[in-house]
Each structure stands twice: as structure tokens, then as C-alpha cells.
Copies of this chain bind each other. A is one copy, B any other.
């Protein structure tokens, strides 16, 4: 891990600080300042408590660490390198915590903040309660430390696969409903594309699972409603209402745009990891599809002789982000 960029600008290098940082990053869970102090002491008894506190403080402002408060009357710290801001389930009995992420919740919170004209800097969600193990005594698959990175990649792939599947469904249906031969051809091409890509993703998923036999049974980290039916599901539903090719293309554009947005947003937020790569690659894929659909939309519009006025009121693809 390269930490060179993490020192404060103009700050001096300091072996002690490096030592503390190194030990901190080597921890899996959420450490308290004093726990870290003890750990550091064990390796280097010449380090003072104040230094640990000061280093922790610096790490937080530098964005290397996150301060989390589990209501114990003292702070805990977690490395932020691992994965992006997430939410916590905190067991009040064993004091361990597990993490999750929900894009749906984030979306709602964005709406709430917007409704109140509030500029959110940080979001905290904590569920306090009793974990499975403390209640039943049975050990359940956990999601600690190193696992999260892989689980995250797994969830990213699952979502991508679900999206691809619903995309395939959408384009197949659109193709079968298409009235214009050129329109049908476009939809068929896209369906073929999705099918091919689906295969690639599934292979990648299988490879990832093969890496770690426990991976598949670990709990979900990234919760996303769309994952169940896929982002295109709603669009596919709309096709049932009976739409013309132009309208179908438009729905496709919207779906691809939403899909792109979703994957881009998450991909951007993550630290470099397999999951990030999956998100960003997929986002790129969706952007390309969207562009292709926009092109086809314009061509079809021109061929059908639909005027500018209609184009203006119906869609402005250029401004679609």
C-alpha cells in the first residue's frame, strides 16, 4: 500500500507516525484510541498516548480514518481505505459491528436533504440491537475486514448481472414488438450484446466465487432494490402498454441513462478495488448503449419525419448527463 500521498502537505516524515498508521491499517475492526495505543505500545514502547491521539486526529482530517461513535462513550476509528462510507449494525451485547450499504436509502436521503435545502456532508446510519450470534449462539457467516472487499465485488457483479438480465429482457421484448425493421434490428443487436455481456459477467462471477469458497454464503453488503428485478424491469413493464418504436427507444435511453448514473455514482465513490472496477466498467458499457440508442432515436425520427418541435418537447438527449 502506498502511503506517500497521505502525509500532510509539507509535513515531515516521521517514523512514529508511519508506525502508528501501519498498525492502524493492519487492524480489521473498529479500534478505539486506547486499543490502538496498546497495540502500538506492544511493538514500540517508546510511543506516547498523546501521539496516538494526535495521529488519529490527523488521519481523520486527512481522510485516512473515519471516526465512528457506537455510543460507548469513546470513539472508534476505521480505515477509510477499504471501502466507501457505509452504515453500521451494532450489537449492544458483543460490541461488534457489521456493515452495509444501501443505494436506495441514500437516494431517499438525498431527496429529504433536497426538500430541506440541506447540504449534506456526511451521513450516519446506525442500527443498535442484538446480532444473530448473540441471540442464537450459532455462528453465522460474517462480513469482517478482508472479506468486505470481495463481498463488495460479489454484490457489484450480482447487480450488474441482474441489470444485464433485465436489459436483455427489455431489448428482446422491444425487438418482438418493433414495427420498423430498422428499429427491430437495433433492438436485436442490443439484445445480442446484452446476452454476450451477460455471459462475460457470469463467467467473472464464477471466477470470483471460485477464489473463496465462503464468499457466496456471506451476507449481502450492498443492498439495492433494483438488484432484484434490474434497472430495466420498469422499462420492460412499460413496453406492455403498447408503445411505438420511438417511444421504446426513448424508454431504453432512460433506462441506460439511469443504469449508467447508478454504476458511475457508486464506482466513483469507491476506493480502488475490484468492485470499483466492475462498477465503472459497467457504467461505461451503459453509456455506450445509451449513446447508440440516442443515435438510433435521431435516425428513426428523421426517417419518420418527426419534426424538431416534437423532439424538443419529448427529449433532449444532449443534456442528459
User: Looking at the complex, which of A117-125, A162-170, A188-196, A244-252 is the stretch in contact with chain B?
Assistant: A117-125
CB of A117 within 8 A of CB of B132, answer yes
- State whether A89 and B105 are in contact (beta carbons under 8 Å apart), knowing that A121-B130, A124-B124 are contacts in the complex: no
6 contacts between A and B (CB under 8 A): A89-B118, A91-B118, A98-B118, A117-B140, A121-B128, A125-B126
B residues in contact with A102, CB < 8 Å: 108, 112
Contacts A105-B105, A109-B125, A125-B126 known; list 19 others, CB within 8 Å. A89-B118, A98-B116, A102-B108, A105-B108, A111-B223, A112-B127, A115-B223, A116-B219, A117-B131, A117-B135, A117-B136, A117-B140, A118-B127, A118-B129, A118-B132, A120-B128, A121-B128, A124-B126, A125-B125
A38 CB, nearest partner CB in chain B, Å: 23
A80 contacts which chain B residues (CB < 8 A)?
none
In Å, the complex CA distance between A105 and B220 comes to 17
Q: Give the residue among A113, A127, A240 with the most B Cβ atoms within 10 A.
A: A127
CA distance A105 to B110 in the complex (A): 12
Given A71-B69, A241-B240, A135 and B112 touching (CB < 8 A)? no
Please, how many angstroms separate the alpha-carbon atoms of A120 and B131 in the complex? 8
- Identical copies of this chain, number: 2
Name A92's contact: one of B116, B121, B124, B129 (CB within 8 Å).
B121
A266 in contact (CB, < 8 A): no
B118 with A122: CB separation less than 8 A: no
Within 8 A of B (CB), among A128-177: 128-132, 135-136, 140
- What's the least CB distance linking A110 to chain B, in Å? 10
Interface set, chain A 82-111, CB cutoff 8 A to B = 89, 91-92, 98, 100, 102, 104-105, 108-109, 111
Contact B92 A118 (CB under 8 A): no
Separation of A316 and B100 alpha carbons in the complex (Å): 35
Could you say which residues of chain B place their CB within 8 Å of the CB of A92?
Answer: 121
Find out whether the CB atom of B131 lies under 8 angstroms from the CB atom of A127: no
